[in-house]
Amino acid sequence: MKLFFLFFLFNLVLFAKPLVVTNYKYYDIYPTNKHKLEDSMDKTSPISSFGSVRHGTVNWKIRYYYKRQRRMGVCSIAEVKTKVDIVYHIPKLAKNYKSPKGTRSVFNRYYIILKDYLKKHSDFAVQAANEIEEELIKIKPLNNDCEIIKTDAKRVARSIIQKYKKKNKDYEIRTYEGFLEGVRSEKLL
């Protein structure tokens, strides 16, 4: 029984996953017909990037926590946990707004495409958090110096986050800001 408990505890720590907290912030759109969805989003979207209006975006932040331990003069990282906060900013048809015939179905198809595209961006954050958990635990134990462990942990985590921010940006460029993924409503008509 004791062996089973140790095995369970080992697997729990080894296969820990980041805590992911997802929130949505919506802005209302009022399309006059299904052909005007994009115009409506352009008009009401609060999101812009380098002077151009965006229909949706995702922001993410990674927090990491670790426990250091000192045993027999050796300092090491004993446990690592991460938390990913994800916020999607996306359009929705305004409440109590009577959308013209066919508009809702076109918007719903567009919404799924936009959300899938943004999810690929948020996946980079989850991948980064997983990698932080894997890499921080591997930091080499040091004799009597927990401050160097702390510095190493910060350096490793920052490096991983920067790597995934670059992957995120590269994905944005590679898809022409989602255009190649279908993030344009005129393709749905």
Residue bearing tokens 């995120």: 168
pLDDT at position 186, please?
56
The two tokens of residue 37 are 């969805």
Whether 142 contacts 149, CB under 8 Å: yes
pLDDT at position 165, please?
96
CA 168 to chain centre: 10
Give the CB-side neighbour count of residue 90, counting CA atoms within 13 A: 20
The two tokens of residue 110 are 């567009």
CB neighbours of residue 147 within 10 Å = 11
CA distance 97 to 90: 17
Cα separations (Å) of 27 from 61, 86, 90, 92, 130? Answer: 22, 17, 6, 6, 31
Domain coordinates of the chain in residue numbers?
A: 17-188
Beta pairing class for 52-54 and 47-49: antiparallel
Q: What is the pLDDT along the chain (189 residues), one digit of tens a residue?
A: 554 444 444 444 455 689 999 999 999 999 988 888 888 998 999 998 777 888 899 999 999 999 998 888 899 999 999 999 999 999 999 988 888 888 988 899 889 999 999 999 999 999 999 999 999 999 998 887 788 999 999 999 999 999 999 999 998 888 877 777 767 655 565
Specify the pTM: 0.83
Closest CA to 121 of 52, 42, 56, 46: 56
Q: What angle do CA 90, 91, 96 make, to 5 degrees?
A: 140
pLDDT at position 11, please?
45
pLDDT at position 187, please?
59
Alpha helices in the chain (DSSP H): 2-14, 37-44, 103-136, 146-174
Whether 56 contacts 47, CB under 8 Å: yes
